[in-house]
Structure formats: structure tokens, C-alpha cells
Amino acid sequence: MAAPGNYRIDSKASFAEILIRFKDVIVKTETLAFWLFVIIAVVLILALLDKSRHTKLGINWLVPLIYFVGSAAMISVLAFAAMRPERTWFTAIVLLIVIAGWLYSEIKFSDVKPYIITASKLGLTAVFTIVFLISFNKEFSAVKSTYDQIKPGLEAIEQAVEKGENEVEIPLVTPSDSKYDPYNGALYAGDSPTLWVNAWMEKYYGIEKITGVK
């Protein structure tokens, strides 16, 4: 799941080549996860410095540890993926966000008045919600534009199947430049029926020839 795409890494890749790919993954991940690691470190330090709570490592630390190992594994497995678009880091980043939130929730600010803590939580929640909605609307519109291009082609194929036709032409798809578009950087049906994506669709729908046209 963390290494999607319809390209394959060369099965004969040497260990040195895999290390190079792993280094490339780490370099790309650094820009995406750096601030989350900083937040986790700061919150963790605050938690350990707070004398009002139990700071020894115990069962309560098992959950964030599992999330962290899962996040690291999802990032590491990309070294074996032929495609590494930034959207493949999504789940790993979410796990880091969960860790940061869990650590923050564990801190007991005994010297801070409750209304200040409540106000700060509501303020941060409001800011992050607004940023999320703006980002989501932008990326959703971009991804939807790609699916709007795909839909007519699928409808044409389904109609051809119903009519018993053996050949069908579908519009070529130009994916959006959104980092979250699953078709950005991936193969889709092309202008030649011999392309493996076309051949796969022909096999799936039971049609002899599917050709992409502008």
C-alpha cells in the first residue's frame, strides 16, 4: 500500500542500488517530515521535563512506538518501489501527526490555568482546520478534473460491452499536476491497443481493441 504504482523495480537490482534508492527516499522524506519530527521532539522533551506526571517508559509509550515503527517502515519500503510520488508519504505522515497529538495530550500543564489550555487547543484546531479545508478544496478539484476525463472513457467501454462491440475509442487522459492525483506519474490507456494497460483493460472488459484518442 505504501509503494503504489504500475511500474516495477528491476528484480535484479543490487543491494548497492537499493541503498541509493533508500537514500533518495530519505532525502525526499526529510522535507516532508522534518517539522513533524521537531514537534514530536519538543513535545516529548516537555513531557519528560514535567515533574507532575509519570515519565518512565511504560505501557503508555507502546502505542506511539508502534505508530513510529509503522511510519518508518512505510517510508523505508519506498526504496523498493519504482514510483515514489509525494502522496505515498501520506499515511506515514499521518502516523507522525498521531504521535505528536498523543504526546501533547499526555502532558499535564499543572501551572497553567485551564482556560488558557482550552483556548490554545481551540485556536490551534481552528487554524489547522482552515488550512486543511483550503488545501483539500484545491487538491480535490485537481484530482476530480482527472476523474472527469476518465469517466467518459469508462462509459464508452461499458456501452460497447452492452452493444457487443469489439472495438472502442476512449479519450486520452492528461492527469492534473496534483501530488495527490493517483494518475499523476502513472500509466493509463494510451493511443496504442498493444500497450499493456490497454491490453489489461481489453482483457478485463472482454473487448478486442481499446484505443485512446485525443
What three-state secondary structure class fits 167? strand
Residue 54: pLDDT band with limits 50, 70, 90:
very low
CA atoms of 25 and 75, how far apart (whole Å): 7
CA–CA distance, 176 with 5 (Å, rounded to integer):
16
d(CA 197, CA 181): 18
What are 168's strand-pairing partners? Answer: 210
* Residue 172 binned pLDDT confidence (cut-offs 50, 70, 90): very high
Residue % of the chain over a pLDDT of 70: 70
| Position 91 confidence tier, pLDDT thresholds 50, 70, 90 | confident
pLDDT, averaged across the chain: 77
pLDDT of residue 5 exceeding 60, the answer is: no
